[in-house]
Amino acid sequence: MGDENKILTVQNLTVDYTTFRGNVHAVRGVSFEVNRGETLALVGESGCGKSASVKPIIGEDASNQVIKGGKIIYRWQHQGKLEEIDLLKITAKEMQRKIKGRQIAMVFQDPMTSLDPTMRIGKQIGEAVASAHSKLSKKKIDERVRNLIATVGINRVETVAKQYPHQLSGGMRQRIVIAIALAGDPQLLICDEPTTALDVTIQARILDIIKKIQKERHLSVIFITHNLGVVATIADKVNVMYAGKVIEKGTIEDIFFEPKHPYTWGLLESVPDVDAPQEALPMIAGTIPDMTQRIIGDAFAPRNEYALDIDFVKEPPMFEVSKTHQAATWLLDKRAPTVQMPRSLQKRINRMQGENNGK
Ligand SMILES: Nc1ncnc2c1ncn2[C@@H]1O[C@H](COP(=O)(O)OP(=O)(O)OP(=O)(O)O)[C@@H](O)[C@H]1O
């Protein structure tokens, strides 16, 4: 697959936050790629560096953020030519003028932070359209606003256009935020926990809308979530993150049917199983490490009941499981003892695979 199909390549991204307690090493050398028309999920517990890995893509920088290294290569077709830039090297002005909204847009968890409470919905979307397409007439802008509202699955277009954010439910507000994100016809949409604050049925509806839009517009999507259960319905590929690193990456099938890292096993076990009688849901015991400290070995080792001695001393490399699947665990070293995933998880996977084959 040539580079033209890769819309984004993040290479060895390293991000710190300076704090009075010392530097938080939030992202410790993260690399990933997103292909055109593909959805990549970044998954992991709270605080593992998911947001910190994507904010630099769109120039969202807290005042205490320090990019210590890496590249973020973005590629797009411009006047029939493939252009590429390192998003870490452009100015804030260029980011605003060329990239933000028009190439890459972001949807955050809390829609209220992205909406202006004092402005009618139609006007807010209209401003986003006008700022991305400066030459459009008022009539054309209005037309686009109505189309965008309909695109996110809202039927009462005229009514909603006249309303204020507080008059809408959480799910409706999130749809409007998605409509605003689409106003500049971006190629890449970054969704940071877009459904976490919503109740389960509304979550499913928003996921369906994102999926529908992704297909219609052949969008690339980076989808951030702490819930692996959500990932199965939306993503093509998954990167599992822990303590500022990607520790396992693969296709949906690789991660759900052949998980290799004990951390991924733990995440999968903590997904509610709707098809099986529920025992108490096992959460991964322990807490994430203090990210201001230097981490020695595998960051997950202190919480890992399958840890080997070497895990406490030496960081595991990414072992190749297959062409599409890699995991950073010493259990994959050829000298390691054979360790099986928990039986309860294996049983669940067997059942899921059976259902999948029966489809
Ligand atoms: N502005 C900041 N200043 C200091 N530390 C920060 C800042 N932003 C994030 N962090 C820290 O960086 C680490 C990674 O945070 P990040 O927000 O990327 O996690 P996350 O995986 O997205 O989790 P969540 O779902 O809770 O946002 C955490 O330890 C977090 O406390």
Using the atom order of ligand 1, give the atom closest to the CA of residue 27: 14
Tell whether ligand 1 has an atom less than 6 A from the beta carbon of residue 52.
Answer: yes
Question: In the prediction, which pLDDT does 359 show?
Answer: 58
The alpha carbon of 16 and the centre of ligand 1 are apart by a number of angstroms equal to 10
Question: In the prediction, which pLDDT does 13 show?
Answer: 98
With tokens 């991204």, the residue in question is 13
Percent of the chain surpassing pLDDT 90: 74
**Per-residue confidence at 2, pLDDT binned at 50, 70, 90?**
low
Tell whether ligand 1 has an atom less than 6 A from the beta carbon of residue 24.
Answer: yes
Instruction: Write down the pTM of the prediction.
Output: 0.94
**Per-residue confidence at 354, pLDDT binned at 50, 70, 90?**
confident
Give the span between the Cα atoms of 186 and 179, in whole angstroms.
11
**Per-residue confidence at 229, pLDDT binned at 50, 70, 90?**
confident
Question: In the prediction, which pLDDT does 285 show?
Answer: 86
The protein residue whose alpha carbon is closest to atom 2 in ligand 1 is: 17
Tell whether ligand 1 has an atom less than 6 A from the beta carbon of residue 49.
Answer: yes
Task: Flag whether pLDDT at 241 surpasses 60.
Answer: yes
Encoded tokens for 268: 């999968």
**Residue closest to 263 by CA, chosen among 284, 232, 235, 236:** 284
Q: Quote the DSSP letter at residue 236.
A: S
Using the atom order of ligand 1, give the atom closest to the CA of residue 53: 18
**Per-residue confidence at 109, pLDDT binned at 50, 70, 90?**
confident
Question: In the prediction, which pLDDT does 77 show?
Answer: 84
Question: In the prediction, which pLDDT does 202 show?
Answer: 83
SS3 309: helix
Of the two residues 54 and 277, the one the predictor is more confident about is 54
Give the span between the Cα atoms of 139 and 142, in whole angstroms.
5
The alpha carbon of 247 and the centre of ligand 1 are apart by a number of angstroms equal to 18
Tell whether ligand 1 has an atom less than 6 A from the beta carbon of residue 46.
Answer: yes
Task: Flag whether pLDDT at 65 surpasses 80.
Answer: yes
- Terminal alpha carbon distance of the chain: 30
Tell whether ligand 1 has an atom less than 6 A from the beta carbon of residue 50.
Answer: yes
Question: In the prediction, which pLDDT does 260 show?
Answer: 97
Tell whether ligand 1 has an atom less than 6 A from the beta carbon of residue 91.
Answer: no
Question: In the prediction, which pLDDT does 195 show?
Answer: 78
Across the range 114-131, mean pLDDT stands at: 93
Across the range 314-338, mean pLDDT stands at: 96
CATH number 3.40.50.300 given to 1-38+45-96+238-359: yes
Average pLDDT in the chain: 91
**Residue closest to 323 by CA, chosen among 262, 236, 250, 259:** 250
Element (H, E) at 14: strand 6-19
Encoded tokens for 212: 């529908």
Contact 172, 161 (CB under 8 A): no
The alpha carbon of 53 and the centre of ligand 1 are apart by a number of angstroms equal to 10
Across the range 260-280, mean pLDDT stands at: 80
Name the H helices within the chain.
Answer: 50-54, 92-94, 111-114, 121-132, 138-151, 157-162, 170-182, 200-217, 228-234, 252-257, 262-269, 343-358
Across the range 106-116, mean pLDDT stands at: 83
Beta bridge partners of 28: 14
Question: In the prediction, which pLDDT does 63 show?
Answer: 92
**Residue closest to 189 by CA, chosen among 203, 205, 206:** 206
Tell whether ligand 1 has an atom less than 6 A from the beta carbon of residue 173.
Answer: no
With tokens 């995440």, the residue in question is 267
**Per-residue confidence at 110, pLDDT binned at 50, 70, 90?**
confident
**Residue closest to 262 by CA, chosen among 312, 313, 310, 308:** 308
Task: Flag whether pLDDT at 73 surpasses 60.
Answer: yes
Task: Flag whether pLDDT at 277 surpasses 70.
Answer: no
Tell whether ligand 1 has an atom less than 6 A from the beta carbon of residue 79.
Answer: no
The residue extents of the domains of the chain are 1-38+45-96+238-359
Across the range 129-135, mean pLDDT stands at: 88
Task: Flag whether pLDDT at 146 surpasses 60.
Answer: yes
Percent of the chain surpassing pLDDT 70: 96
Question: In the prediction, which pLDDT does 197 show?
Answer: 73
**Residue closest to 87 by CA, chosen among 13, 178, 182:** 13
Task: Flag whether pLDDT at 163 surpasses 90.
Answer: yes
The protein residue whose alpha carbon is closest to atom 4 in ligand 1 is: 17
